[in-house]
Structure 1
Amino acid sequence: MPARELQDQLNTLREQLDQNPPLSEEERTHLHELMVQIESEIQLETATQDASIADGVNLAVERFEVEHPAIAGTLRNIMNTLGSMGI
């Protein structure tokens, strides 16, 4: 089930953030806002899929790709799962 896989990936991202990587407060806030949006989508599992969530995750991948490759990798996994959910 893609929603379960997406939740697992969010948990991985949380664990990575709990390790306190060197992120600015703005970067942490941005990631937390994305996580809240994704969790809302999981809870709703609605047919009114919000493309802005996928766009936001994609932008975050680009933002973190160079300095935080592990976080970017987890975000890429989230993108793939969102895609398989049709979002």
Structure 2
Amino acid sequence: MPARELQEKLNALREQLEQNPPHSEAERADLQLLMQQIELQIQLETKTQDSSLADEVNLAVEQFELTHPGVAAALRNIVQALGNMGI
């Protein structure tokens, strides 16, 4: 799972915990430890990989979508091909 997606899911978890925190201290401690482990995984992933090629192409799609729709369409096809390749 890319680091950005994992971070988004962790942020959603934090929001849920703010709205409805666990009642017991043990549950809070367990969740805190789990979130720390997830943070470490995110840090490890971002240090070992800059960003995936598909992510970079997706950013380019967003950049060119309004000004160069043909380029954006071609880039979307590349993203699709990369996905089919498992990249």
TM class, shorter-chain normalised? 0.3 to 0.5
Higher relative contact order (CA 8 A, sep 6+): 1
